[in-house]
Each structure stands twice: as C-alpha cells, then as structure tokens.
Amino acid sequence: MKLSRFMFLALLACPVVLFAQEVVKVSSYNPQTQDATAAIQAALDSGAAKVLVDKVLPEYRVTTLKFRSNQEVIFQRGVRVRAIKGAHQGVNDCLLLAKGVQNLIVRGEGDVRIEMNKSDYQDSKLYRPSEHRHLFPIIGCDNVVVRDLTLASSGGDGLYISGDETKNWSSNVLIENVISENHHRQGCSIISAEHLKIRKCIFRDTKGTPPAAGIDLEPNNTSQKLVDCVIEDCKFVGNAGGGFGAGINYTLSAPVSITFRNCIVEENPNMAISFWVGGSKEKLLEGDIYCIDCKIRQKQGIPLQFNNIRAGGVRIHFQDCEIDNRNSDLAAILLNTQFPDDVDGIDFGNLLIRQKASQPVVDIGALGAAKLYPPQGNIIIENETDERKAYDLVALASKHAGDEQLRNFLSTPLDTKGLKPVADKGNPQNTLRLRGEHNFLQYGKAGVPMTLTFTVPWHRDAPIHIPVTVRDSYNTFVAEFILTEEQQTFSFTPKYDSVFAFHFRTHWIVNVSSPYPGQGYDCSKRLGLMSCESDFYFVVPTGLEKINIEIWGDMGEKVQGQLYSADGELVDQTDYNFGVMFLTATRAQNASEEIWRVHVKGDEDHAVRLGSPLQPILFTSPENIIK
C-alpha cells in the first residue's frame, strides 16, 4: 500500500500504525549472542507489517541491517544494538540502512541505544580511515519515520539523508526525538531531501573529522535538492565543528527552502551557525533560509558565520533570534566571500546580541572586488550593564564599497610550450606546504635522468594515497604514480625536451623538491598553501604596465601579501586579513622585462594567483625560472 502525503502526515501526528496488524518478534528467529544479524534480518525480510526487536539479549551485536518497505520496526524498551567489533571494514559500511524503501517506521519504545565503535574506526592500525561509516543512511526513500532512538559513535554520520541511483533525494522524512551523539563526522548530514522534518532532537559531541557539525546541509551535485527542510525544537551542543549550517557549493535543481525554528545552539567550540551558500561559480544558488526564534550561547568560537552570500542569490532571514556572546572576546558575526559578486541578501530581523560594549560585533574579511550592501533588519547590542543600542549596519556597509576594476580578475591559461630554463642549475630549497589541486612544473631534457622528492609532512596519521599524473607541454600523458610514503622519490628519463606537469590533489600537505633548473608552480588557479611563509618570483614581460596579484585566506584564516619590484622596493602590501585581497602595481610605459617578487605569509589555508597577462607560473628562486 502506498500512502498519500495526507495519510503520511496523519501518521506523523499519531503513533497508531496504519499497516496490517501482523507482528513478528526477533526472538522467534533465535538471535545469537555473538552475531544477531541473521535473526533480525530474517524478521525484516519476513514481509510482516510489524517487526518487534524484543529484549531477549543484553545486547544485539550486528553488522548491517537493511530495512524493507511497508514496515514498522519497533525496538522494545531498553534494547541495545551494537556494531560487532572488527566488522565494518569497508569504508562505506553502515549499521542500519534504508535504501529505496517506502512507508517505513523505525522507532523505539524508550531507552533504546544503537551504537557503533567510533574509537576503533579512528585507529588507523585497525581500520582504513574513512568518514563514511555512517550509522543510519536514508537513501532515495519516501515516507520514512525515525523516532525515539539514541544513535551513537559512528565512523561517519549518525544520520545521512540523500538520494540513490533512481531518485536523487529522499522525501517525506520525519526524524523525531532522536539523540545523535559522538559521531566522527556529523550528527546528521542532509545531502538531498524534499519535505524533511527534524524535530525535538539533540545533536551533540560530534568530533573526529570536519565538518564535525550537529547538522550539515551539504549537497554533492547540481541534480540534488533541499526543498521544504524544517529543523525545529532541536538542541546542538558540544559539536567540535559547529552546531548547524549549510555548505552549498552547487546550484541545485530547485531553489532551497530551509527553516531552523526554536533551536538552541550552545557550547560548540568552533562556531554555532554557519552558512556557505554561494552555489556554483557560473550560476547563483537561489532560495530562502530562515532562522526563527533560535538561541545561540557561546563561550568560544564565532556564533554566526556567513560566506559567499551573493547578491541575487540565497536570502537568509532571522526572526526573533538571540546570541549570548558575553563569555567570548570574539566578534559575534563573521562575514566573508570568495566570489567577486556583491554581498547582499541577509535580513537580521530584530537580532539581539548580548556582549561587552568594547567587543567587535561584525568581523569582515577582505571582500576583494565585492561590495557589501547594508543588511536588512536590525541588530540590537545589549552590553554588560543591560543597556541596548542599535548597531549601524549602513555604516558597516559603507566601509566595503568594492573595486569595480578588479571584479573581472582573470589569469592567463597555462601554456608551457617552448619554455626553457634561464639557468644551468636549479635551487631545490623551498618551504612550501602545498594543499589542494596543483601542477608542479619541471623542465626535462631528452635522455637526462631526473629524480624528484615528494614529502607529505602532515596527513593526520591517515594512510597516504595521493595519485600523481605527469603530462608534457602538449598535455600528453607521460606517467602516473601514487604517493604512499611520508617521503618518496620519483625517477624518470624524458624522451624529449618539454616542461612536464606533475598534477596532484590532496587534503594533506605536500612539498616537492627538485635540484634541476626550470621548475615552478602553476598559478593560473589559486596556488593553495597551508601554514607557511613563502617568497615567489615571477616574470614581468617587456611593456607590461599593470600588475595584479590575488591573495586569499580561508574563512577566519589570515594571510598577508607583499609585492616587491625588481630592485627590491616594497611597492604594495595587503592587510593581515582573511578573504580576497589584491596586490597591484603600475610600471612605466615600455619598461623592460623584469623579475619581481611576492612574499606571502598565511596562518592556515591561503593562496596566491597571478593576474593576466602575466605568465601564470611562480618560482621559489630566480635560478628556477623558465621563460
């Protein structure tokens, strides 16, 4: 029987089940103490309308349980379910699974705890590292109710709600009165959903790997959706990454509609609420996000973060919300963007912030070319003597007028054909800590053997697995290998003269050392760095008058850039800030070719990029230049 949406909503409001009354008990299938998986799965596969997991064992030890359509699964009061120690070796293994099912209820009768073994999964001697050993994925489902359970200690997310190969979202899902605690990655990930309601739940103590939030709405591709997602009457406590938020880096198949109502967010050490909602670079993400009657209490970290709020895109509305920031010295609000689009679309409603009078209210990163429009609504500051004063949002916006000349900052596409070294010997010394996607460039001469050294100084004790592809100046495949050690060499003998690009992508840190002349780094896209101080040299061609360089620091992670002319004069420098900043300089007409230097120092994630028409290659020493 397929329920209409009206019938489903009636089901949500009433514990009485509308299915047939046949009931089977797991105890009838002789569950084994060491592994009860077969018995419980047999009950689920029986076709019964109701399956009762009755309390006949102190603990049901299982691998993976797969739910079926048109069924109510009831965990009797006091039941304990635990993942078998040593099981779930697959990086995507889960404990409970609802995939492609309809009309499913999974509920407890009180004091029901379902638990995995997070500390084991975090031990690289026991398990291959993964952030996807979820406790309960709900994938491509319709009409699902989960209530009255405690879900604990997964190697990924407590709940993971998404789509499958047939339908790229789940719909009509209710999560109610669930405690989701001590998970490795998220209390709950909402990847793709329509008509989702999460209410009267607690998400706490997520810690292990980023984002480490209570709830994170974060789609994986443009065909997914976040429509009519409502989170209400929930608590978010002690999550290492943050309470709740949305990280939407794709423009989705429909405008987003997300509501957080009457939620309490407290003591999440990094941040409370975060919205990164820029969508795809080429197309704005549209829709509305509401925070209504939510309370934030922080002792450390930033209460409220906004990133990539683009004019004409998603609108974020606050109504009757409060921030208690009295026990912190940080600003209550952090705002930044990585896009050149103007920043607009925030309505603070009547936001009340309690904090010291001397404390900053809004910390804004460098917005680059983007202009900040005055947010709508009002922010009221209540100081330590209970005096209230309106914060001047118009004055705040007036300090960030944008720079139209830099709005269309572009880099020249990389083209290394015909480039040759300027010196006979290279300088292998560099302190670069590369992170992200990179092309290390190395000139090679036909028949001359070469050996490069790759070092991975930071990888969180996880196994190293970084594929590297080598291509020549014409993008012809040459070789490939995988970095698996903290220090590893790669040797090859070019069959012809060329500049070879060593391409890799990593969340960890990589350093490349080469003693050969003609080596550099592709910066036609941002050259991503992590916690380092670097000097880069670049070629300024004859006749080029205007020099533009982009300096970027990730959200809250400060960086400073300094630009030096060929004679060593400091000609421009950025503030020590996060966000997008620019170094600019103007040379005399008909100036000759020169070698300039840019000095970059960043706290954590930062990047540098050369603007067109500069050749988009940075060098760590003048001896390494190719041109």
pLDDT computed for residue 594 by the predictor: 97
pLDDT computed for residue 110 by the predictor: 95
Q: Is 272 helix (H, G, I), strand (E, B) or coil?
A: strand
Residue 127 lies in a domain: yes
Residue 69 lies in a domain: yes
pLDDT computed for residue 285 by the predictor: 96
Are 274 and 301 within 8 A, CB to CB? no
pLDDT computed for residue 617 by the predictor: 98
Kindly list the distances between the CA atom of residue 165 and the CA atoms of 68, 168, 173, 193, in Å, as whole numbers in the listed order. Answer: 17, 7, 18, 14
Q: What is the pTM of this model?
A: 0.86
Residue 529 lies in a domain: yes
pLDDT computed for residue 274 by the predictor: 96
pLDDT computed for residue 8 by the predictor: 44
Longest dimension (CA), the chain: 90
- Asked which of 253, 275, 297 is the last residue of a domain, the reply is 297
**Count of domains forming the chain:** 2
Number of helices (H) and strands (E), helices first, in the chain? 4, 50
Measured between its terminal Cα atoms, the distance across the chain in Å is: 71
Q: Which domain holds residue 532?
A: 434-624
Contacts of 343 (CB under 8 A, 6+ apart): 309, 310, 311, 335, 337, 367, 370, 371, 372, 373, 400
User: Checking phi first, is residue 37 left (phi over 0); if not, alpha (psi -120 to 50) or beta?
Assistant: alpha
Q: Is 161 helix (H, G, I), strand (E, B) or coil?
A: strand
Provide the strand spans (E) within 7-135: 23-25, 50-53, 60-62, 65-66, 71-75, 80-83, 96-99, 102-108, 113-115
pLDDT computed for residue 406 by the predictor: 80
List the CATH number of the domain containing 129.
2.160.20.10
- Asked which of 253, 269, 297 is the last residue of a domain, the reply is 297
- Asked which of 271, 297, 323 is the last residue of a domain, the reply is 297
Residue 318 lies in a domain: no
The CA distance from 360 to 202, in Å, is 31
Residue 354 lies in a domain: no
The encoded tokens of residue 220 equal 């994986």
Residue 382 lies in a domain: no
Are 468 and 442 within 8 A, CB to CB? no
The CA distance from 309 to 336, in Å, is 8
pLDDT computed for residue 423 by the predictor: 95
Which amino acid does the sequence have at 201? Answer: C
The CA distance from 389 to 299, in Å, is 22
pLDDT computed for residue 20 by the predictor: 46
Residue 440 lies in a domain: yes
- Could you tell me the strand order of the sheet in which 533-540 lies? 533-540, 594-602, 559-564, 570-573
pLDDT means over runs of 10, the chain (627 residues):
42 42 91 98 96 97 98 98 98 97 98 98 92 97 98 98 95 98 98 98 96 96 97 98 95 97 96 95 95 94 94 97 94 92 96 96 91 97 96 95 85 97 94 96 97 92 90 97 96 97 96 97 97 97 96 92 97 94 94 97 96 97 97
Residue 397 lies in a domain: no
Four-CA torsion 508, 214, 294, 11, nearest 10 degrees: 140
Are 199 and 226 within 8 A, CB to CB? no
